[in-house]
Structure 1
Amino acid sequence: MRLKVSFRAPSDTGPLRPNKHAVQGFIYNMLKGTEYGARHDQPRFKFFTFSDFFKENSRWTFLVSSPDRDFIRALYSAIKEKDRLYIGTHELYLAELRKFNLPLKNRFQTGSPVVLYLDAEANEYFKLHAHRDLTFFLERLKENAEKKYNAFYDDDFILEGPIFDRMIPKVRKNGKLDVYVKVVKNGVPFPVIGSNWELLERDRIRPSERRFYRFIMDTGLGEKNSLGFGFLNPIRGGNSA
């Protein structure tokens, strides 16, 4: 399930790109007093993600997605009571708030960078441009997705074959494939490295795999989902699953 949040910003405001940790903090703050109020402190997968901000009809918008419908409903109920909202240092005015679902397709594109660790203990991120190991990337994506899915549904599902059959990365203007995102936490900046994708396609999603692919579409792909990474959008025109 998804939640669309659109804002009216002051006319003198340039591109709205709030720090991802501030957006995460905004979401957790909205959830205070709900059954999800302690989600931030729980040592477990958070099962939500959010997109980068984008401009739509002169409004700045971002999307939140989660396989937990009650999570989205709780967030919706909290935000709809507000006219003025604060994300980091930005004072914003709510223009639109809408819950919705999207049909599952077999083709996706990213709405925020996909992040994976090459070595989590060394805090080393996988860099698509530098490491150029698509096999590692696909295997780690699949392993991470299965682990989250099985934790959410208390299952032991294993996906047959690769998680995607066709992939087209989004190349930056400088020719690089990797995206460096500066995240600031408690005043301390740290980089998170990921990659954006124009196409992530599974040739055929079997009936037994539909729940799995809908799950990753809603919870996010890769790591650091609750920090706004790995957001997926189904591509219109793809085959229905």
Structure 2
Amino acid sequence: MRLKVAFYPKNGTFERSNKHAIQGFIYNMLKGSEYGERHDEPRFKFFTFSDFFLDSMGRPTLLISSPEKGFINTLYGAIKDKERVYIGRHELIVAELKRFKLPLRRVFQTGSPIVLYRNAQENEYFKLHQHRDLRFFLQRLKENAEKKYEAFYGEDFLLEEPIFDRLIPKLRNNGKLDVYVKVVKNGVPFPVIGSNWELLEKERIRPEERRFYRFIMDAGLGEKNSLGFGFLNPIRR
């Protein structure tokens, strides 16, 4: 399930917020609810959000997705009566708030970079441009998604085939494949490295796999989903 939040900047200019600030805004909206302790729970958070983008009316817009309907409904209820909110230091006027579900498709593109660790113990991220190992990328992506799915539904699941059959990465203006995102937490910046994708396609989704692909569409792919990484948009082909 998804939530669209469109804003008007109070002073007429918009500055993209740090991902940690957006995460803080979401957790602040959850305070006092059954999800109010989600930030401190030692488990997967089961939500993600897109990078900011301009909608068809030119408004800065954020999409938040989760496989938990109650999570999205709680956010909706917390925001719907507010005329303005704060994301970090920025005061924003709420222009539109909308809950919706998207049909499952076989083709996706990223709305925020996918992040994977090559070596989690050494805090080493997988770098597509440097490592050039799609087999590792797909295998790690599948293992991570299966683990989250099993944690959410409490049942074993094994995808027999690769998670995607066709991939097209999105090149940056400098020709590089990797995206370096600076996240600031408690005043301390740290880089997160990921990759954006024009296309992630599964040729055929079997009936028994539909719930899995709907889950990753809502929960996100890869690591650090609750920091706004791995957001997926289904697209027509």
TM class, shorter-chain normalised?
A: over 0.9
Which residue of structure 1 lines up, in the alignment, with residue 158 of structure 2? Answer: 158
Deviations 1:135-161 (A, max 9, x none): 000000000000000000001010011
AA matched with 2:169: P
SS at structure 2 position matched to 1:148: helix
- Alignment match, 1:148: 148
Q: What do the CA deviations read for 1:30-66 (whole angstroms, capped 9, x no partner)?
A: 0000000000000000000000000111211010000
Aligned partners of 2:236 and 2:184: how far apart in 1? Answer: 34
Q: Determine the C-alpha separation between the residues in 2 that align with 1:231 and 1:202.
A: 17
Amino acid at match of 1:222: G
Name the % identity: 75
Q: Secondary structure at the match of 2:86?
A: strand
**What TM-score does the superposition give when structure 1 sets the normalisation length?**
0.97
Alignment match, 1:4: 4
User: Structure 2: how far apart are the matches of 1:134 and 1:205?
Assistant: 21
Q: Which residue of 1 aligns with 2:224?
A: 224
What corresponds to 1:30 in structure 2? 29
Where does 1:181-196 land on structure 2 (aligned, <5 Å)?
A: 181-196=181-196
Secondary structure of the 2:10 match is coil
1:72 aligns with 72
CA distance in 2, matches of 1:236, 1:85: 34
Amino acid in the other structure paired with 2:232: L
Q: Which residue of 2 aligns with 1:52?
A: 51
Quote the residue 1:175 is aligned against.
175
Closer, same or farther: CA 50–59 of 1 in aligned 2, 3 Å: same
The amino acid across from 1:133 in the alignment is D
Where do 1:92-171 residues align within 5 Å? 92-171=92-171
TM-score (ref. length: structure 2)? 0.98
CA distance in structure 2 between the partners assigned to 1:43 and 1:147 by the alignment: 15
Please give the alpha-carbon distance, in whole angstroms, between the structure 1 residues aligned to 2:156 and 2:194.
Answer: 28
Amino acid at match of 2:98: R
In the TM superposition, residue 17 of structure 1 has moved relative to its aligned partner by 1.3
Q: Distance in 2 between matches of 1:84 and 1:70?
A: 23
Runs of 4+ that moved beyond 3 A: none
Alignment-mate amino acid for residue 45 of structure 2: K
CA distance in 1, matches of 2:146, 2:31: 30
Task: Give unpaired runs (5+ residues) of structure 2.
Answer: none
- Structure 1 counterpart SS, 2:138: helix
* Structure-2 separation of matches of 1:7 and 1:236: 27
Is the partner of 2:32 in helix, strand or coil? coil
CA root-mean-square deviation = 0.8
Corresponding position of 1:233: 233
- Unaligned runs of 5+ residues in structure 1 are none
**SS at structure 1 position matched to 2:167:** strand
Distance in 2 between residues matched to 1:218 and 1:178, nearest whole Å:
23
Q: Deviations over 1:207-237 (max 9, x none)?
A: 0000000000000000000000000000123
